[in-house]
Amino acid sequence: MLDPTAVAINIPGAKPVRIGPFIAPTNAERYAERLRSIAASRRLNADINVVRTNRGLDHLDVRLPTESWALAELLAQEEDQHGEEVPFPDIYTRLIVQCGAVRAEELRDKATGWAGPADDRISELTESAEEWRHQRDQASTALQRIAVQLWLAGLHNIRRIHAITGLSRATIYAELRFKGIEPTDRTTEK
């Protein structure tokens, strides 16, 4: 069964931070490793680990928006909230982890106006739509895997799986059949 994870960042004297959830533990581990590398290069005494997601605690979103206007808003909020003493990981650090140092610098410069005149607005919005569509596709794939795992774990109520995953009943039936499970065959149930 898929078990959502998070990345926990603990720095002495600072408020603990959690980033997540990650559907795939390997993605969380990769994210944590990148954060550890950045923390080490800044000589921060940071304890960064992959942990189970805790719904009772606040988590920062894994993905930051890359649209100039949205990123500009986040950077401004961070500056208003923290001033010069921004806690680790700040927006820019998280952006580096998400898309690499070169792309993060380009995005930050564009969002803060340091990149010169804005590119064609249609191109920017098209790129943004493509990124969001890709994220939606990844989430849909993960939810389909979860639906199959719910079935295999003994939840054979399609309406309940629909309520949990948000997938259409037709998608759930199709995914189960694709995995060799016939959901209408009740002969295998106890």
Rounded CA separation 76/43 (Å): 26
**C-alpha distance from residue 183 to each of 146, 147, 149, 162, 186 (Å):** 15, 12, 13, 14, 7
Q: What pLDDT is attached to residue 157?
A: 94
| Claim to verify: residue 72 and residue 128 sit in the same structural domain | no
Contacts made by residues 75-81, CB under 8 angstroms, sequence distance 24+: 75/108, 75/111, 75/112
- Look at the chain and report how many structural domains it folds into: 2
Q: How much is the pLDDT for 23?
A: 86
Q: Helix %, strand %, coil % for the chain, to 5?
A: 55, 10, 35
In contact, 68 and 20? CB cutoff 8 Å: no
98 and 127 share one domain: no
Same domain, 78 and 42: yes
Q: Are residues 128 and 39 in the same domain?
A: no
Quick one: 20 and 100 in the same domain?
yes
| Last residue of one domain, picked from the residues 87, 112, 137 | 112
Give CA–CA dist 20/23, Å, rounded. 9
Domain span including residue 28: 5-112
Contact 153/147 with Cβ under 8 angstroms?
Answer: no
**Beta bridge partners of residue 29, listed in sequence order:** none
pLDDT of res. 182? 93
Q: What is the pLDDT of residues 2-49, one digit of tens each?
A: 678 999 999 998 889 999 999 888 999 999 999 999 999 999 999 999
Q: Are 144 and 171 in contact (CB under 8 A)?
A: yes
CB-based contact 84:45 (threshold 8 Å): no
One domain, residues 83 and 134:
no
The answer on 75 and 22 residing in a single domain is yes
What pLDDT, in 10s, does the model give residues 60-94?
989 998 888 889 899 888 888 876 677 889 999 99
Indicate if 75 and 126 belong to the same structural domain.
no
- For 101, residues 6+ apart whose C-beta sits below 8 A from its C-beta are none
pLDDT of residue 2: 63
DSSP code string of 12-65:
TTS--EEEEEESSHHHHHHHHHHHHHHHHHTT---EEEEEE--TTS--B-SSPP
Question: Cβ neighbours of residue 3 under 8 Å, at least 6 residues apart?
Answer: 25, 52
Please tell me the predicted confidence (pLDDT) of residue 189: 54
Tell whether 132 and 89 lie within a shared domain.
no
